[in-house]
Each structure stands twice: as C-alpha cells, then as structure tokens.
Amino acid sequence: MVVFPNCKINLGLHITGKRADGYHELETVFYPVQLKDVLEVVHATAGEQAHITFTSSGLPIPGDTANNLCTIAYQLLKKDFPGLPSIRMHLHKIIPMGAGLGGGSADGAFALKLLNEKFQLGLNTAQLIHYAALLGSDCPFFILNQPCYGTGRGEILTPVQLDLSDYRFVLIHPGIHVSTKWAFEQLTPAKAPRPITDILQQPIAEWKQELLNDFEFPILKAYPEIAAIKQALYSDGALYAGMSGSGSTVFGIYAVDQPVGIQHKTSHPCHIV
C-alpha cells in the first residue's frame, strides 16, 4: 500500500507565550501544499526477525532509522496492537528536511493513517490525532490535512474555510539550516496584533503588510540570502511571499494563470505546485 505525504506551509506565525513544560504557545494557520513524499508498506517476508524494516531513497535522511517518525509511528501502534504484523516500510524522500515544511511530521502522520487502514485497526480521527501528538507538535495537522488554525504547541486545531486552489505555490529551499533553538531565543513572546484568521479573509494581495511570521525578523536579518529570496519572489510577481515555520523555505503564492519566472533566476531548488 502506497500513500503520498504532502508538506505544509504556515500562513502567519506568532509565538504568543512560553509554557511551563518548555514549549512555546503559538498561533498559525497550517495550509497543505502538494509537494509530496512517497511512503510504502508491505508485509515482511517469512523469516525476517525485525518487526519493521525501514529503508529510504531520494533525499538522504540523516540519523538512525530507529528515530525516524515513520518507525516510531509503527512502534507506537505495535505497543497497543500486539497483533500488528511485521512490515517493510520504504520512504522516498522529496520534501526537503529541516525546511519548515513539516515533511518528517507528514511522513509520521501518514504512516499512522496507512497502518490503520491497511491493517484495519479501527482507529478514528481523534485517536489518530492522539497518536500523532505523541510523535510531534506538527503531526496532528497531517491527520486532518486541511487548512487549520493551530494554537497551543500547534496541536490544537480548528479547521478554517480557506481555498487557495486557484493559486500556485512556489517553494524555494536555500539549503540553509536554521537552528530552531536559536530562532526561538531571538523572540519575545507577545500576543498577535490581529488574529491571523481575520487577515486571511482579505484578498491575498493585501496580506503582505499584516500576515507576518515572527521568525522572519531575526532570521532574514541573520541570513540575507533568505531575505533576498523573499524579495525575488515579490519582484517576480508573487501576490504574497513568506517564510514557512522557522525556515528556511520561502514560499510565494501566484495566481494560477500568472507566469512564474523565478525558477530561471535562482540556483536553489524550486518547486512549483
């Protein structure tokens, strides 16, 4: 069985408080974007000792495979469903990692959904969201995988009416690693000046002045190359441009019939979806 985990962008992102558990309170709107990985699960062959054999292709995935969210998703379910059979899982990685696009979170959440469906575990949406929250703060969004207003650590989700199907998204990843810890240290939590959901009711061309990502201020100052990509998207005619998450991917939103020329003007990976 094969599924196609997609990425997300953040439309606005405000850090509104610091929690006693060390996490931050935030406010954002998650929006699904159709740049996708490929995830396959098949039954293990007879005689294999491991409960799960995980392999990957495409973009290299650093670290121990035991720490991959897809593997952890299987182990979480195996603990509560001991009859879950041994499997082979293969991930073809296309979404860049550490890019603010939630690719790893999507893979873990889609693994939960795939295993639930393939092996008929009977988990409902609320139960899948519970497991996803154990994987990470962004993971619950990918269970719903529709535009959502996110609060708390990002795991408290309220679906919103927002249809951008008449637009194209241009995603540019400059290959710059931004330390999430450093990025949070640059911020002073504060209440958003205006609810993001109110701003999104305006025409996209009016988002530029009010739809803000708190991380952009320190990151664009520290990494002029990221700032230059955002400006280049506007110069190319993007209706709105911003950084997703804590970076470093920058996205532009274009009208569907609008020419996109920036892919010929940047040396960085550029995805148009």
Q: pLDDT value at position 50?
A: 83
DSSP bridge partners of 252: 170, 241
Question: What are the phi and psi torsion angles at 168 (to 5°)?
Answer: -110, 150
What is the distance of C-alpha 256 from the center of its chain? 22
Whole-prediction pTM: 0.95
Burial of 267 (0-12, 13-18, 19+ CB in 10 A): exposed
What pLDDT is attached to residue 48? 77
pLDDT of residue 180: 87
Q: What is the largest CA-CA distance in the chain?
A: 61
Is the domain spanning 2-159 CATH 3.90.800.10? The answer is no
pLDDT tens, position by position, 153-166: 888 999 999 999 99
pLDDT score at 235: 97
> Is 138 annotated as catalytic?
yes
- pLDDT the model gives residue 22: 75
pLDDT of residue 83: 95
Tokens 């949406």 label which residue? 125
Of these residues, 8, 36, 113, 230, which one is catalytic? 8
Report the pLDDT value the prediction gives residue 173, as an integer from 0 to 100.
96
Give the pLDDT score at 165. Answer: 95
Q: What tokens were used for 198?
A: 């109110």
Catalytic residue among 37, 107, 138, 236: 138
Point out the residues of the chain with pLDDT beneath 50: none
Annotated active-site residue 8? The verdict is yes
Given the structure tokens 């495409």, which residue do they identify? 58
Q: Which ranges in the chain are annotated with CATH 3.30.70.890?
A: 167-272
Contact between 149 and 201 (Cβ < 8 Å): no
All CATH 3.30.230.10 domain ranges of the chain, comma separated, are 2-159
- Please list, in sequence order, all residues whose beta carbon lies within 8 angstroms of the beta carbon of residue 121, skipping any fewer than 6 positions away: 77, 81, 84, 115
State residue 260's pLDDT score.
94
pLDDT of residue 82: 96
pLDDT given at position 70: 98
**Superfamily the domain 167-272 falls into:** GHMP kinase, C-terminal domain (3.30.70.890)
